[in-house]
Structure 1
Amino acid sequence: MATSTYSEIPGVYSESPRPLATLRRTLRTYRYCVAATMMLGLVITLAIVVSVMIGSSLTATQQDPPTDPPANHSLVTLMSLTWPRRDQYWYTLRWQRSRTMTPDDPHKRQYDDDPLNPDDPDGPEWTSPDHSTFPDNDTWNWNQSLVHGSTKEQQKTQVEEELAKRNMSLVPGSASYKHQHTFRKTDPLATTMAKQGYLMDQATTTMKDRMNLTREAATLDSQWVGDLSSSVYCDKGRQRPLPSPCNPASKYRSVDGTCNNLKNPTWGASFTPFRRALPADYGDGVSSLRVASDGGELPSARQVSNTVHKNKLAESHSYTVHTMSWGQFVDHDITLTALSKGSGGRSIPCCSQEVLQQPSLLHPECASIPIPPDDPYYSTYNQTCMEFTRSAPAPKCHFGPREQLNQQTSFLDGSVIYGTSDHQLASLRAYHDGLLLSQVTLDGRELLPPSNDREDGCNVQDQYNYDRFCFISGDTRVNEQILLTILHTVWARQHNLLAITLKDLNPDWNDEILFQEARKIVIAQIQHITYHEYIPSILGPTFMKHLKLSPQMEGNHTTDYDELLHPCIANEFAAAAYRFGHSQIQGLVQKIDGPGKNVEFSQLNSITFHPFPLYDQGHMANLVRGEGTQSAAAVDTFFSTQVTGKLFRGDNKFGLDLVSVNIQRGRDHGIGPYNRWRMYCGLQPASNFSDLAHDMDIGALRSIMNTYRQVDDIDFYTGGLAERPIKDGLVGPTFACLIADQFLRLKHGDRYWYETQDQPQAFSREQLAEVHHTSLSRILCDNVPELGSIQRWPLRNFATGNPRLPCSSQSIPRVDLGPWEEGDL
C-alpha cells in the first residue's frame, strides 16, 4: 500500500497535465539525488513563503473587510466552467489510474483499451481543464482490521440492547423525538444495511491506524485495497437486494428507480449511497466529524447559529411562500437520508441525564451539539446539549471513507406521491380505474388516506377520537407541516383527476394502464413545473439559458440523455446547498378567506405535525391564498426563531435549532469547508477573510470572522448562505454551482425524462405539447375548487406582469387529454 502524498500526481485536483512519460522515467532514474536537492531548496523556499504569508494574513485579517464591490461577477465565472461538473468518480478513477498503471511498467495493472474509459492518466481525457482553481499538488493485515470492525459493530449492538433493556430512547412527543422518529423515518432495510457500513468504517479506521496512513490516503487510497465481496465480513443480507433483470422495452419507469440506466441499473435507485462531487472531508479521513484546519475543534454548530444566523425579518421582494413549499416538495422527492437507529428501530438518546452520567450508555453514533453556557435561548431552560444522531452509514464491501444512504430515488419521479417500493405503492393504490386511495369528507372533498397508527408520532387523541387522523402518502414526511401536506393532497387529487379523464376517453383500458399513464403524466407535470417555474427562480434566466436547462415548448423533444452521466444526488447538494430553502421559511403562516376580508396568522411551530385543519371545509384554500400573498423570507444568513429554537416544539418549552442541525449534518457527512467549494466552482480560494468580501454580504462576513479562527474552517452551509446572489438568482455562486450541476444531471441522466424522444417511453408530439401547457396555477385551481383565483405564476409575488386571475381564465392554459385517446398511443 502506497502512502505517499498527492504531490506524485499533479493534475488530480489541478488541471495541469502530468509531465511526459519519458521525462518521468529519467527523473525516476536519478530520483534520490533530485529529491535531496529539491527537498533542501523546498524547505528554504517554504520557510520564506510561510513567514511572508503569515505576516500578510495577520495584517489582512485584522482589518475590516472592504466595502461591497460595485458588481457581482460570479455568474460570469460560473458560465465559464465546463458542465456538468466532475464529481468524486473522476477524481478517484484518475487517482487509481495514476497509482496502478504507467506506460513504462509492465508489472502494473493494465486496462482494456476503452475510448470511453481511457487508461493513460496523461491523456487529454484526464488532463483537459474544467477551470477549477485548485492549486497544484493540492490533494487529498486486512483480517485484523476486519475482525476489529466486526468487534466494534458487536459492541455497538450491545449498547443498543442495553438501551432497549432500560427502555431508553428519546422522550415521545419531544422535539427531538418528532424529528428523528416522525419526520426523519428510517426504513428497517436501511437500519440493516447500516450494520454492514458501520463494520467497514471501523475496519477502515483500524487499517489506517495500523498502517499509519495519511488522512488523504485513507480517504482515496483505502478503497482500492481490494474487493471484499467474497469475505465472510461482507454480509449479503445487509446489502440492497439486487434488482431484477432490466427490460429495455419498458414504457414506464420503475418505482424504486432501478433500470433507469441500463448499464448501471442501480444508479439513482432508492437505498443507494449518495454521490459525492468531491471526496469526503472527515477529521480522520474515514468517518469522524470534520475538524478545523489546524486540527482543533470547530466552533459548536449552535455557536455558529447564534453568531452568524441571527433572527432578522428580511422578506423576498419577488417570491412567495409557494417557492419555499415547492422547494421542500421537490427535496422530499429526491432525498431522504437514513438515520442511525437503535435496537428495534428505536431513536437513540444522546443528551439524557442517564447517558451523560453513564458514558458506557453513549451510543457511538451520537454526535450531540454542545450548547454554550451563555446561550441566549436554551440557557433559560438549563440546556447544554442538543440531540443529534449521525446519518446511517451506507453499506460497502471494501475499505474506504464513510458514505450515507439515500432512501429515496434520485430522479424527479413523483416518489413523494407513489413511494419507492412496489410494496409501498401497492398500499397506496385503489386497484380500480387507475386511482390512488383517498378518503372523502361528508361534503365530498377528497383527502389523503388516514394513518390509523395512533402511535405514529403525529396522531393525537383529541383528534382521532373524532376520526381525524394524520395522513399517509408516498413519503413519510407528509405531515411535517401543513403547507407540505397540501401539496401532497393536490397531487394525489391530480392523479385521480387524470385517471378519471383517461377512463372516460378509453373505457377499455384496465386499471394498470390507467394508473401508469396517469402516473406518467403527473411525473411529467412535476418535472415541467420544476424546470419551468422553480429552478429559474434559483439560478436566474441567464444561467438557465446558458446551461440549456429550460424546457422545450410546443411538443418539441430532446436528445439530451447521457447514459454515462451519473444522476444520483450529490451528498453536498443534499446536506448543504439545497438546504438554502430553510432560510426562506417565514415564522408566521398566513391564511386568507375567500372574500379576502379576514387575514389570520399562525406561528409555524403550531402547524408542524398538525394537518387536522384540512378536514375543515375551506381551510386548504385559505392557506393556499395565504401562500400566494405572503412573501417568502429572503435567502440569507438570517433565520426565524421559529426554526432556530422552536422547531417541532409543540407543547414543549423548547424545540430544535434547524440551523445547528444543518451545520452539524454537513460535518457528519464529511462535507468539505466553504473554501474548498469556491475552488470547485472556479472561484479564487480565499487566503484570509477579507478575500471573501467580493462575494459575501459584509455584515455576514463580519459575523463569520468573529466565529471561525481560520478562513478554511468556514462550514459550507454558512459560507454559501453568506454569499450575495448571482444575477437574477436566489443563491450565491457556490450554491448555484452545486444546484445547477445536480439539476443538469437529473435532466440529462434520466432515461425517462418527460421530453425524451426515445421510444417506447416518449410522449407523442401532441401529448408533449399538452404537457408543456402545465402550470402550477392550473394544478392548484383544478384541485382546490374553493380557491377561486390565483396569480398566473404562484411562485412570484403579485405584480403588473403577474396578475391574479380567476381560475376560469383562459390565460391559465388547460391540459387537454385528447391526444391520449385510444389510437393515439
Structure 2
Amino acid sequence: MYFHVPFVLVYILALGPRVAEWSKALSVTDHCHLTSVCVGSSLRLVIDTPRSRGVYGTPLPSPRLISNVIHAAGKKAILDSEHTVMEMQWGQFLDHDIVQTPVLKGKMGAAFDCCGEFKNRSECFPIPIPKDDPFFKTDCMNFARSAPVPTQGCNPGYREQMNQVTSYIDGSAVYGSSPEEQTALRTGEQGLLKTGPNNLPPPNDADKCMLNSTEDYCLRAGDSRVNVVPSLGMSHSTFVREHNRIARVLGALNPHWDDETIFQETRKIIAAMIQHITYTEYLPAVFNDDVMTKYNLKSTPKGFNTVYNPKRKATTANSFAVAAFRFGHSQIPRYQARVSHDYQHMTKTPIEFTYHNPHMVEEDNGLGLEDIARWVASDNGLEADRFMEDGYRNLLFLDRQGNSFDLAAVNIQRGRDHGIAPYNHWRTYCGLPAAKTFDTKPGGLVDHDPDVGKLLKQVYSHPDDIDLFTGGLSENFIPGCSVGPTFACILGKQFRAYKEGDRFWYENRFTGIGFTEAQLNEIKKVRMSMVLCNNYKFEKIQTNVFEVPQGKNKFVDCADIPQIDLSKWEAYRRKRPAYPVFKHHK
C-alpha cells in the first residue's frame, strides 16, 4: 500500500525504523518508558503471573471489596461547579484514540467464562465477590486477562500487553488504526467518509449492540467502542461530519485534487484539530497553569512551536492506560440526557440502560444526536474524586439477562493483571514521599484526607499494597486540577511524550510534512464550540464548552465563534515539490 509521506501513515509513522515501532498499532503498552526502570514487571513473582500478593505474602484484598469501601458513591452526585460533561466525554473519546487493550478470548471470539469451566485457566483472573456484598449475589465476577504480546524472538520474558490502536493522537478513533479499517470507512469518492441515515455514522452489521427497534442500527467508526454510550457515539458522529464538511470545502477549492488527496489532507487537518483541542481546552480543564507549564503542555497562540525529540517515546505507558487516565471514570454522570435548543432537559436516561444501545443517538430521525451534544456541552459534569456511581460501579454493561460488572473493581484488577507497581512506587518515581503508615501525618498518606486513610487501612494490610488506581484516585486534588499529585505526574509525563515524541505534531516545522504557517494559524483558531456549531443547528453556545456557561464564558451566537479559513489550503501544493511516495512492506 502506498501513502504520500506528508500524511501520517495509518498504523506506522515514517519516523525511522526504531521510532516507528514505538507507537504503532499492535505494539506494546510500555511498562518502562516513563521510568528509568521497568516499574511493574519487576514486581511479578513469576514471569507470567499477575500481581496478586501483598508485602506480607498474603493475598491482596478483593477489588470488589476495595470498590465497596473506597469508591461507592453517595445518594447525591457531587457536581463540578466549573466544568461540563465535555471534560469527561473528551477524555473518553481521546482515550479511545490512544489505547485499546484486547482481552483474551476463546474459539470463534467467544468470551471466557472465568467464573465457570475456565475459572482455573491461565487466561482467567476472576474477581472474588465478598459474601456480604450489598449488590451482587454471586461469589465471582468474570474477568479475562489482557492479551500478551509475543516477546522479541519469542524468547522468555515478562508478560507485556498489546495496544491495538496507535499511541499517537492522530484521529485513529475516527479513521481506524489499520488500512483495512480505514478503507471500510471511506466512500472512495471526493475524500468523504461513509455515513448512514440522517448523516450519522454508517451501520456496522458485525457489532452486537442492543437495539430498541428494527429502525435502530449499530454505529460503525474508527474505534470499535463507538456504541458504548450515546455521548461517545455523539463524539464520533461529530468528527465524521466535520471531516466531510472540510473535505467538501477542500474539494471545491481544489477541483484538481483526487479522492486520496482530499481525504488525506482532511485527515491531517482533523488530527491537528484533535491535538489542538486536547492541549488548549481539555488539558487546561484537567491541570492548572503550573502543571501545564511544568510538562511543556502549552501551545503557542500563533506560529510554529517545534518540540519533536526523536529520543522521546510516544508509546502509551501501562500506568497511564490502566490507572491514571481512568481518573475520568469518576466523572461519568449517572445518566445520559437530551437537551433542547433552549437548553432545557428533555429526557434523562440512567446510564445502565444506554450501554451498547445507540437508540438515543438515532431517535427522532437523528435529532437525538444534536440534543446529546447540547447536553455534553452545557451541563455540569461530576467532580473528579474517588467516588463512582452505581450505574457503572454495580451496573456496568448491564445486559438483558441482568448481568453486569463493577468498573472500579475491573480497573483495579486490570492493573494487577498488567503487573502495575503499587501506589507507593509511583509516589517515589514522581519525587513524592511514599507512605509508611495509613495516617495522613508526615510519613503517611500526606495527600489524602484522614477519613480516606482509615478506609484504606480497613482494606489493605500495608501502604505498599495500595493499588495505583485506588491510591491515585483517592488523593486530594491539586488546586485548579482534576487530579492529585501522583496522577498529575503520570498524566503530565505521558501527554508531554505524546507531544514531543510525535514528528507529525501539528505545531512542528518540518519541510514537506506539516502545515504552512498560515494554515497552522487557522488550526489554532479551532475550538470545540466551533466544531459543534459547524455540525449541529445550535443557535447559541459558550466559547469554551469544557467550562460551564457562566460569567465571561456566557452563551454567544454561533455566528460569533471564530472559524477556520480553509482558503489557506487552496492549491497550496502547486508551490511545493512533488511528494515522494512511501511503500510500507508488511
TM-score range, shorter chain: over 0.9
**Does 2:331 match 1:584?**
yes
Alignment of 1:23-34 (within 5 A): none
CA shift digits 1:74-116 (9 cap, x unpaired): xxxxxxxxxxxxxxxxxxxxxxxxxxxxxxxxxxxxxxxxxxx
Q: Which residue of 2 aligns with 1:364?
A: 122
Q: Which has the higher contact order (CA 8 A, sep 6+)?
A: 2
Paired AA for residue 609 in structure 1: H
CA contact (8 A) 2:112 2:118 kept: no
Question: Amino acid of the residue matched to residue 287 of structure 1?
Answer: D
Deviation at 1:285, TM superposition (A): 4.1
Which residue does the alignment assign to 2:71? 309
Partners of 1:596 and 1:251 in 2: how far apart? 43
Counterparts of residues 283-362 of structure 1 (less than 5 Å): 283-290=44-51, 291-312=53-74, 313-352=77-116, 354=117, 362=120
1:449 to 202, 208, 217: 202
String of CA shifts for 1:30-52, please: whole Å, max 9, x gaps.
Answer: xxxxxxxxxxxxxxxxxxxxxxx
Question: Which residue is equivalent to 2:30?
Answer: 275
3-state DSSP class of the match of 1:808? Answer: helix
Supply the distance in 1 between the matched residues of 2:422 and 2:294 (Cα, whole angstroms): 28
Distance across 2 between alignment mates of 1:817 and 1:351 = 56
Q: Is the 8 A contact 2:230 2:336 kept in 1?
A: no
Comparing 557-566 with 691-700, greater Cα deviation is found at 691-700
Aligned length, in residue pairs:
558
Amino acid of the structure 1 residue aligned with 2:280: H
Q: Equivalences for 1:540-559 in 2 at 5 Å?
A: 540-554=288-302, 556-559=303-306
Take 2:225 and 2:344, find their aligned partners in 1: how far apart are those partners? Answer: 33
- 1:420 corresponds, among 150, 171, 177, to 177
Q: Aligned equivalents of 2:318 and 2:501: distance in 1?
A: 17
The structural deviation recorded for 1:440 is: 3.5
Please give the residue correspondences for 1:418-497 in structure 2 after superposition, counting only pairs within 5 Å. Answer: 418-441=175-198, 446-453=199-206, 456-460=207-211, 463=213, 465-466=214-215, 468-497=216-245
Q: Which residue of 2 aligns with 1:614?
A: 361
* Helix, strand or coil at the partner of 1:790: strand
Change beyond 3 A, Cα 1:797–1:699: farther
**1:572 corresponding residue in structure 2:** 319
Q: Which residue of 2 aligns with 1:648?
A: 397
> Quick check: 1:644–1:658 contact (8 Å CA) kept in 2?
yes
For residue 789 of structure 1, what is the amino acid of its counterpart? K
TM-score (norm 2): 0.92
What residue number does 1:625 align with? 374
Aligned equivalent of 2:469:
717
Question: For residue 192 of structure 2, what is the amino acid of its counterpart?
Answer: L
Q: 1:595 aligns with which of 329, 336, 342?
A: 342
The question of whether the paired residues in 2 share the 8 Å contact of 1:637 and 1:700 is answered with no
The aligned amino acid for 1:250 is: V
Q: Map 1:68-217 to 2 at 5 A.
A: none
Name 2:583's counterpart in structure 1.
none
The whole-number CA distance in structure 2 between the counterparts of 1:371 and 1:659 is 13
Give CA-to-partner distance per residue, 1:329-353, whole Å, 9 cap, x none. 000000000111112222111113x
Contact 1:282 1:289 in 2 (8 A): no
Alpha-carbon distance in structure 2 between the residues aligned to 1:698 and 1:652? 41
Per-residue CA deviation, residues 110-153 of structure 1 (Å, 9 max, x unaligned), is: xxxxxxxxxxxxxxxxxxxxxxxxxxxxxxxxxxxxxxxxxxxx
The answer to which of 335-344 and 257-266 deviates more is 257-266
Whole-angstrom CA distance in 1 between matches of 2:572 and 2:500: 30
Deviation at 1:679, TM superposition (A): 0.1
**CA shift at 1:726, angstroms?**
1.7
Q: Which amino acid aligns with 1:522?
A: I
Q: What SS does the corresponding residue of 2:82 show, helix, strand or coil?
A: strand
Distance in 2 of aligned mates of 1:746 and 1:261 = 17
In the alignment, is residue 531 of structure 1 matched against residue 279 of structure 2?
A: yes
Question: In structure 2, what is the equivalent of residue 661 of structure 1?
Answer: 410
Query: Where does residue 798 of structure 1 map in the other structure?
Result: 549
Matched, 1:756 2:514: no
Task: Name the CA distance, whole Å, in 2 between partners of 1:650 and 1:783.
Answer: 33
Structure 1 partner of 2:487: 735
Separation of aligned partners in 2, 1:673 and 1:384: 25
Whether the 8 Å CA contact 1:593–1:622 is kept in 2: the answer is yes
Give the alignment of 1:367-378 within 5 angstroms. Answer: 367-378=125-136
Offset, 1:604:
0.4
In 1, Cα distance between the equivalents of 2:96 and 2:180?
19
**2:460 is the alignment partner of 1:702:** no
Separation in 2, partners of 1:485, 1:760: 35
Deviation at 1:415?
0.5
Task: Specify the code of the residue in structure 2 equivalent to 1:799.
Answer: Q
User: Does the aligned pair in 1 maintain the 2:145–2:417 contact within 8 Å?
Assistant: yes
Deviations 1:646-689 (A, max 9, x none): 11114343411000000000000000110001000001122111
- 2:361 touches 2:372 (CA, 8 Å); kept in 1? no
C-alpha separation between the residues in 2 aligned to 1:261 and 1:701? 48
Question: SS of the residue aligned with 2:400?
Answer: coil
By how many angstroms is 1:698 displaced? 2.7
Give the conservation status (yes or no) of the 8 Å contact 2:435–2:446. Answer: no
Give the Cα separation in 2 of the matches to 1:815 and 1:706. Answer: 55
Which string of whole-angstrom CA distances, capped at 9 and with x for unpartnered residues, describes residues 403-436 of structure 1?
Answer: 0000000000000011111111111111111101
Alpha-carbon offset, residue 624 of structure 1: 1.9
In structure 2, do the counterparts of structure 1 residues 597 and 732 end up closer, same or farther at CA, with 3 Å as the change threshold? closer
- Indicate if the aligned counterparts of 1:260 and 1:752 stay in contact, CA closer than 8 A: no
1:801 counterpart SS class:
helix
Q: What does the per-residue CA deviation read over 1:333-384, in whole Å, with 9 as the maximum and x for residues that have no partner?
A: 00000111112222111113x556xxxxx43211000000000111xxx311
Aligned residue type for 1:735 = F
Q: Distance in 2 between matches of 1:295 and 1:335?
A: 33
Structure of greater Rg: 1
Moved more, 540-549 or 318-327: 540-549
Looking at structure 1, the residues matched to 565 and 465 of structure 2 have their Cα atoms a distance apart, in angstroms, of 54
Per-residue deviation, 1:399 = 2.1
Contact 2:295–2:493 at 8 Å: present in 1 too? no
Aligned-partner Cα distance in 1 for 2:414–2:14? 31
> Counterparts of 1:627 and 1:386 in 2: how far apart (Å)?
32
- The percentage of aligned residue pairs carrying the same residue is 36
Give the whole-Å Cα distance in 1 for the aligned partners of 2:12 and 2:261: 19
Give the SS at the match of 1:642.
Answer: helix
Distance 2:343 2:411 in 1: 37
- Say which SS state the counterpart of residue 605 (structure 1) adopts: helix
Deviation for aligned residue 1:542: 1.7
Give the counterpart letter for 2:251 in structure 1.
K
Tell me which residue corresponds to 1:772.
Answer: 524
1:746 is matched with which residue?
Answer: 498
For residue 55 of structure 2, give the secondary structure of its aligned residue in structure 1.
coil
* Alpha carbons 1:502, 1:821 under 8 Å: kept: yes
Pairing 1:389–2:157 present: no
Q: 1:597 to 1:641 in 2, by over 3 A?
A: closer
* In structure 2, C-alpha distance between the alignment counterparts of 1:570 and 1:538, rounded to whole Å: 19
RMSD, aligned α-carbons? 1.7
Structure 1 distance, partners of 2:329, 2:495, is 19
Any stretches of 5+ residues in structure 2 without a counterpart? 576-586
* 1:459 positional shift: 4.7
Q: How far apart, in 2, do the equivalents of 1:597 and 1:339 lie?
A: 41
Give the counterpart letter for 1:564 in structure 2: K
Corresponding residue of 1:49: none
Equivalent AA in structure 2 for residue 391 of structure 1? S
The answer to whether the Cα contact below 8 Å between 1:260 and 1:267 also exists between their aligned partners in 2 is no
How far the C-alpha of 1:281 sits from its partner, in A, is: 4.6
- 2 CA distance for matches of 1:776 and 1:542? 24
Q: CA deviation at 1:548?
A: 2.5
CA displacement at 1:261 relative to structure 2: 4.4
The one-letter code matched in structure 2 to 1:577 is: A
Query: Is contact 1:261-1:751 (8 Å) kept?
Result: no
The aligned amino acid for 1:741 is K
